[in-house]
Amino acid sequence: MRPGRADRGAAVGSARRKRTPRMPSPTRLLLWHDNAAPYLDAIAAAGLSERVRAEALPRKESPSAGQMAGTEALLGWGVPAGLLPRMPRLRWAQSLTAGVEGWLALPDLPPGLTLTCARGTHGESMPENILGALFHIAKPYAAIAEAQKSSRWARQVAMPLNGKVLGILGLGAIGQEVARLAMALRMEVIGTRRDPAPLPGVEVLPPDRTDEVLARADFVVLLLPSTAETEDFMDAARLARMKPGAWLLNFGRGNAIVDADLVAAVTRKRIAGAVLDVFREEPLPASHPFWTTPGILVVPHMGGMHPDRDKVVARLFVDNLARFLDGQPLRQVVDRGRGY
């Protein structure tokens, strides 16, 4: 017998009740980076591929109208002014760098956008490179290599680092690792940080006691963020508080130093010299006096670089991505008030 209308209605109602609930649409993610592969691999390894619709875009290209309209999360070095207001669904941006002054300088940075930085991802390379700079200063291998070019036997005496005082302005994650490595060389470490909580083996002072660090240190390492307070931080007055034989190493931000004041201090032997990894303008112009001032070593922003840096940043990013998808607090959220 053919089923009656009531039977057919019951069957249809039962089918409707058994329908599988619709899955939420994947979150649209834009990887605005020339090397997206490590991030896509990390997303897959974390089992998040089905929860996101990831699109890779080279830095030289601009997002399409569809990408601007639909993107909810963004990974990138930075964005030009005028772009973010055209991305109405964007809720989170992950910077590829620890410094975010370029992001914060945007005149149209949406107030509700969560911005996270790559703070901590330089920990595998920068402390070693800072240590390398200390060895470059103290151990005369560069001069020995130069003498070898002319087959010249030139005896050298290396400066011991043991017993020297290392001053670190900015005892964050990088500064603390530098301190640990320096103490293994039996150096005395003193430094400043906003939260002067104790650190094993390190004399920690608040920023308002910076002058004490400058007066005692044989080597001063700048690891300061870029804020209104750190702009032109090392000027003629602070350079004059350093020991005459001390060295300044800047691996933080280029605008923390008054360039002309440093050139004058080194030229007049007010301090012994400087190793600079960061600059106000990069690449450093060929006409800049840093290139030709004896006692100043120009390092082309090598400090935080790592052969597999994208894999390191991808670990932080994919952790944050999982948190973002689950509605959990993100790591390394930028405090706009502090500037980092």
Least trusted range by pLDDT, from 23-32, 85-94, 153-162, 321-330:
23-32
Tell me which CATH code domain 126-298 carries: 3.40.50.720
The predicted model gives 167-185 an average pLDDT of 97
Predicted local distance difference test score (pLDDT) of residue 21: 57
Enter the tokens of residue 135.
């060895």
In tens, the pLDDT along 287-304 reads: 999 999 999 999 999 998
Enter the tokens of residue 115.
């911005």
The span from the CA of 303 to the CA of 127, in Å, is 8
Could you list the beta-strand ranges (E) of 16-141: 27-32, 52-57, 73-76, 92-95, 114-116
Enter the tokens of residue 5.
């209308």
CA angle 15, 18, 23 (to 5 degrees): 125
The span from the CA of 237 to the CA of 214, in Å, is 11
* Residue 22 reports pLDDT greater than 80: no
What string of DSSP letters covers 117-166? Answer: --TTTTTTTHHHHHHHHHHHHHSTHHHHHHHHTTT------PPP-TT-EE
What string of DSSP letters covers 315-328? Answer: HHHHHHHHHHHHTP
The span from the CA of 212 to the CA of 48, in Å, is 50
What string of DSSP letters covers 225-236? Answer: --STTTTT-B-H
Predicted local distance difference test score (pLDDT) of residue 189: 98
The residue ranking higher by pLDDT, 2 or 286, is 286
Q: Tell me if 218 sits within 8 A of 243, measured CB to CB.
A: yes
* Residue 17 reports pLDDT greater than 90: no
In tens, the pLDDT along 103-128 reads: 999 999 999 999 999 998 988 899 99
In tens, the pLDDT along 321-335 reads: 999 999 999 999 999
Do the first three CATH levels of 27-121+308-326 and 126-298 match, i.e. the same topology? yes
List of residues 6+ apart from 200 with CB closer than 8 A: none
Tell me which CATH code domain 27-121+308-326 carries: 3.40.50.720
Predicted local distance difference test score (pLDDT) of residue 93: 98
The structural domains of the chain, with segments of one domain joined by +, span 27-121+308-326, 126-298
Positions marked catalytic: 253, 282, 301
pTM, rounded to two decimals:
0.85
* Residue 134 reports pLDDT greater than 50: yes
Burial of 193 (0-12, 13-18, 19+ CB in 10 A): buried
